[in-house]
Amino acid sequence: MVKTAATQPALKPLSLHIDHLNHGYEAQGAMRPVLDDVSFDVAPGEFVALLGPSGCGKSTLLRLIAGLEAPLSGTIEADGREITGPGPDRIVMFQDPTLYPWRTVEENVALGLDIHKKRDPKIVRDALHLVGLEKDATSWPHQLSGGMAQRVALARALVNNPRMLILDEPLGKLDSLTRLTMQGEIRRFWQQQGFSALMVTHDVEEALLLATRVLVFSPRPARIVSDQPIELSAEQRHRDDPHVIALRRAILEQLGHRNDW
Amino acid sequence: MSRVTTHETTHSSVKDMVWRWGAGPCWGVAAFLTWWLPDGDDFPDTTLLAGLFLACGVVLLILAALKRLRYWAPWSAVLGLGLGAWEVAQAKFLLLPRPFFGTPQDLLDVFLTDWKRLGDSLLHSLLLLLIGYGIGACVGIVVGMALGRSLRFRYWVRPIMRVIGPLPPVALLPLAFVIMPSTRLAGEALMALSAGFPVAVLTWSGVAAVDPAYYDVARTMGAKDRFLVLRVALPAATPQIFVGLFMGLGASFSMLVVAEMLGVKSGLGFYMQWAQGWAAYPNMYAALLVMALMCTSLMTLLFKLRDYVLRWQKDGLKW
């Protein structure tokens, strides 16, 4: 499914430095903390998976890194410069495809280019080719299946030639077979295009198959419980590999599922 | 299953044939009765009317032969019979009280002799309507967008809208005639108001209902406010905006008629008022017919525009 067609120059992947980050929301007059003193670094080109119980604050962390919200305290630096807002170097892919229904598939993919008034049909075509949807370029979003829509969202992200791809559970709502295919695609895009990647997921296996490093968070307010590199070779990155199974058990234990199944 | 389908097809195709080939003769019957029965009084253009009926019948027969007449065949047949019945009842036997009920040839005569004034009135009405409605719709969309996107604008404008909005614009007519320099301008202003209010409210509700995730997607790619308003909020709100545009158009129609009947000295409303004053009832009916055609044509145009702009939607209501 994945083709090699990188028309845009590969950019240097982004590094992150996150220092004593705290965040929270006000609800019914009280402050509800969401992030509790979170610090970690991401080296250029790393693929970091963020695991944690549902609702712990991982997605909030991603929104802060994307610059969609400002933290209450602490700093986030990208390549040594503090993040003050969203920027095309950090592109987010959300759990829902959130395609614009009034734009055709190709117009959706071209969104980032339109925002910066740099529409280039060739870049759009190549991105659609990359996700195998060039035949659907003129379809409307309501004509797509869930997997196709998420592929369009992926193409829409890649068109920006991001230096960091921020993935907020992008495969969470797909059926398991489509999910397997797209896991492979995301992994290969990451290898080919060499961006840094941050991915929130609930699926421990997915984290182990894709990431080079896994951060485990506590229940809300999110604190880093463990930070471990995943040093697996390409052959070992398989669902039934004993290394993967051992790591999965260890991480599930950290998530508080020692005795479950 | 297939047998049932075949049976139904043959059955309905016989019925189709009857309607298709019957429509023309229905008009032929109307034409014959019009020409053959003597008029009950001295009416103009009876022979011409019979000729027109006959021409309609011939055209329908040709369309039937070309297989172009299918969906509208029953309507065409019944319309011919209805016009024939009206002609017989009123022009031949004088069954309905005159002069309030005219004959078909009276109506035809108005179009033949007074088409210039009718056309002129139509033009004036259209101009008045389109300028007032156009301004109202544009201002309504801008105000609605501002209400949906700006807290400060909403603070100042919402109370005004809540007080003035529910008031029927007709109530402002006497005031408008006094404070505006001309009755024409007063009519324009009130038509803009009656169109603008529903457009503004519906645009606002459309913008308020935009999925915040749509903004996030554009913002993460570096979109600024201008893009978020014009390229995200506006297209996302178009289905609602069109609801407002339809409501506004209806409101403009009634405002147009009232304004023309009460102050503006031109247009179809004025023509009707004048015709009624002179007891020229056929002229009134003629103006009514022209007005109905104008309103339905504008509605159809708006529906066509909507179907084009919202072609990305799965399905829409048909006019």
Instruction: For residue range B157-166, list pLDDT tens digits in order.
Output: 999 999 988 8
* pLDDT score for A2: 45
**Residue of B221, B232, B313 with shortest CB distance to A91:** B221
* pLDDT score for A10: 67
CB-CB neighbours of B82 under 10 Å: 12
Using an 8 Å Cβ cutoff, are A44 and A165 in contact?
no
A15 Rama sector, left if φ>0, alpha if ψ -120 to 50, beta otherwise: beta
**Residue of A98, A140, A160 with shortest CB distance to B214:** A98
Is the Cβ pair B236, A112 closer than 8 Å?
A: no
Predicted confidence band of residue B97 (pLDDT cuts 50, 70, 90)? confident
Using an 8 Å Cβ cutoff, are A200 and A168 in contact?
yes
Highest mean pLDDT among A32-46, B163-177, B238-252: B238-252
ipTM comes to 0.88
Is the Cβ pair B216, A98 closer than 8 Å?
A: yes
Nearest-Cα distance to chain B for A130, in Å, is 20
* pLDDT score for B2: 47
Tokens 């809540």, residue located? B162
Tens-place pLDDT, residues B20-61: 999 999 999 999 999 999 998 888 889 999 999 999 999 999
Nearest-Cα distance to chain A for B235, in Å, is 7
Q: Which residue of B has its CA nearest to A166?
A: B220
Instruction: Flag the least confident range among B122-136, B234-248, B265-279.
Output: B265-279
Question: Would an 8 Å CB–CB cutoff place B215 in contact with chain A?
Answer: no
Which residues lie below 8 Å from residue B245, measured CB to CB, with a gap of 6+?
A: B137, B199, B302, B306
Predicted confidence band of residue B304 (pLDDT cuts 50, 70, 90)? very high
Name which of A79, A141, A64, A82 is nearest A106 in CA terms.
Answer: A141
Q: Which residue of A has its CA nearest to B314?
A: A142
How far apart, in whole angstroms, are the C-alpha atoms of residue B290 and residue B94? Answer: 26
B105-309 placed in CATH 1.10.3720.10:
yes
Share of chain B above pLDDT 70, in %: 95
DSSP letter string over B20-57? HHHHHHHHHHHHHHHHHSPPSS--S-HHHHHHHHHHHH
How far apart, in whole angstroms, are the C-alpha atoms of residue B191 and residue B198? Answer: 12
pLDDT in single tens digits along all 261 residues of chain A: 444 445 566 678 998 899 998 898 888 888 888 888 899 999 999 999 999 888 788 888 999 999 999 999 899 999 988 888 898 889 999 989 999 999 999 999 999 999 998 888 999 999 999 888 989 999 999 999 988 999 999 999 999 989 999 999 988 888 888 888 889 889 988 988 889 999 999 888 889 889 999 999 988 888 898 898 888 887 788 888 888 888 888 888 888 776 665
Contacts with B216 from chain A: Cβ below 8 Å: 68, 92, 94, 98
Tokens 């007709």, residue located? B170
Is the Cβ pair A115, B227 closer than 8 Å?
A: yes
Is the Cβ pair A98, B223 closer than 8 Å?
A: no
Q: Residue A162 is encoded by which pair of tokens? A: 């991001």
Pairing of strands A73-78, A47-51: unpaired
* pLDDT score for B32: 95
Nearest-Cα distance to chain A for B172, in Å, is 39
Is the Cβ pair B213, A91 closer than 8 Å?
A: no
Q: Average pLDDT, stretch B308-315?
A: 85
Instruction: Flag the least confident range among A1-5, B36-40, B188-192, B314-318.
Output: A1-5
Among A residues 97-116, those touching chain B with beta carbons less than 8 Å apart: 98, 100-104, 111-112, 114-116
Q: Residue B179 is encoded by which pair of tokens? A: 């404070």
Q: Average pLDDT, stretch B125-146?
A: 95
Cis preceding-peptide flag for A221 (omega within 30 of 0): yes
How far apart, in whole angstroms, are the C-alpha atoms of residue A157 and residue A162? Answer: 7
Using an 8 Å Cβ cutoff, are B20 and B71 in contact?
no
Domains of chain A: 16-254 (3.40.50.300)
- Domain ranges within chain B, ordered by starting residue: 2-96, 105-309
Contacts with B218 from chain A: Cβ below 8 Å: 111, 115
More confident residue, B225 or B264: B225
Coil, helix or strand for A197?
Answer: strand
Longest dimension (CA), chain A: 55
